[in-house]
A = this chain, B = another copy of it.
């Protein structure tokens, strides 16, 4: 193998990186606003200002590859919020259920605040998690992170039989699915309201934090209720 070729392939030029970045942003916006079903690769290329017909194919091997790259970028940004929160939890001694749930929910809320208004990630992700060819990747990409794995080890044990304490259990899986979809789809709903002007941009940060608090409370209540029923 020619080392020059492999170096060239591994180190794209800044210009190439910018073009790739622009394609990802454009795709995310179009998918969020019009739906996966109504956006073609050609529309993305044209909206990103490329005349070269194979511009998208040059950067991404397929539509799913493009979408997965967008998902990965957001997961990396969320990881930057979750990692210090999990570290703080790690050194705090006793972990309360509420603190633990906060570490599950708040990092993606903070990421949404970072994105500003309008953003497109919420609506984009809500579609990805229900599309057959993408749902698995969209779910796994945030769980295959160091902070998520550490968080699973820190899960507070309770005196009662905790449905979530055995992550392989059936109830734990159903519970995890409920929590995941509450976060994803409630975030998409708020983003939709912000994009439509039903919530003014000046109220965006407050609304995101309120959604975060609502979700922590709701997930806490939901988890306690499911746990109580499952106790012998």
Contact = CB atoms under 8 A, between A and B. Distances in A.
Interface in A105-131: 123, 126-127, 130-131
A197 interface: no
A186 interface: yes
A133 B221 contact: no
Contact of A182 (B132, B135, B178): B178
A225 B185 CA distance: 19
B35 A132 contact: yes
A83 to B, nearest CB: 28
B229 A222 contact: no
Interface residues of A, number: 41
A32 B133 CA distance: 11
The interface residues of chain A, by DSSP majority, are classed as: helix
A134 B127 CA distance: 12
17 contacts: A33-B132, A34-B132, A34-B133, A35-B36, A36-B36, A126-B130, A127-B131, A174-B186, A174-B214, A177-B186, A181-B181, A181-B189, A214-B226, A217-B226, A221-B221, A221-B226, A222-B222
Copies in the complex: 2
A130 B185 contact: yes
Contacts of A185: 130, 177, 181, 185
A220 interface: yes
Interface of A: 32-39, 123, 126-127, 130-135, 174, 177-178, 181-182, 185-186, 188-189, 192, 211, 213-214, 217-226, 229
Contact of A35 (B131, B178, B188, B223): B131
Contacts of A126: 130
Nearest to A171: B214
A225 B229 contact: no
Contacts of A219: 222
Contact of A225 (B38, B127, B220): B220
